[in-house]
Amino acid sequence: MNLLENKIALVTGAGSGIGKAIAQLYAREGAKLVLTDISEKAGEGSLAEIKKVAGQGIFIKADSSIPSDNERVVSVAMKEFGALHIAVNNAGIGGTLKYVGEYPVDDWERVISVNLSGVFYGMRYQIPAILSSGGGSIVNIASIMGRVAVRGSSAYVAAKHGVIGLTETAALEYAKQNLRVNSIGPGYISTPLLMNMLDEARLKYLEGLHPMGRLGKPEEVAELALWLNSDKASFVTGSYYNMDGGYLAQ
């Protein structure tokens, strides 16, 4: 049997990169998918690829930073499939690169609203649905910047630190209700969004930050997210798993 057979799984930011890789792997493992993305074109494209290999699912255009969008997504999922067992809160943005004393207030609020509040809004509505479905598992995509910092990214670093704390809190609160909550901290991952921003020199620099000498792949993050959201990780909750080629070991 596939690892996620007969499971209903919600993946935010599923139009590209890590979210897309997770959605595709979950579909291959038997889950029925509820995909969200702020880009309708990207989200519909991701769903179309899943359906090409006999995967099942729906796409809902949604902005994770808007509470009502998160509520609507869960409501549609429950109406369409009658249950929700798994969620991956992956949607995120990078933000402006400025020191704290120069950081634009509007940019701060946008990064926090997507990367931190968006995870809270997601869980706020996902958790009751998962509990009513008999329990399940949530994975929140944090970052290595949830444990350390980098100059110029105060909003991103603060948000990702917050995601880890939020994950740990929810894990404690629901540990006895058959709901597990964990987070993943990717290093620099070779996503289209990142690669389009890099010239050769910058790419070499980022690769050199990782002891393994390369960037990670979205599919590698997806494999960890699959394990955490499967019954194979049944005694794992409140944990943070860095997937970073050795970055945090330095």
156, 188, 241, 247: the active-site residue? 156
- Within a 10 A sphere around the Cβ of 199, how many other Cβ atoms? 8
The dihedrals phi and psi of 136, each to the nearest 5 degrees, come to 170, -145
Cα dihedral 9, 11, 16, 18 sign: negative
> Is there a catalytic annotation at residue 99?
no
Residue 163, both tokens: 């995601």
- Which residues are known catalytic residues? 156
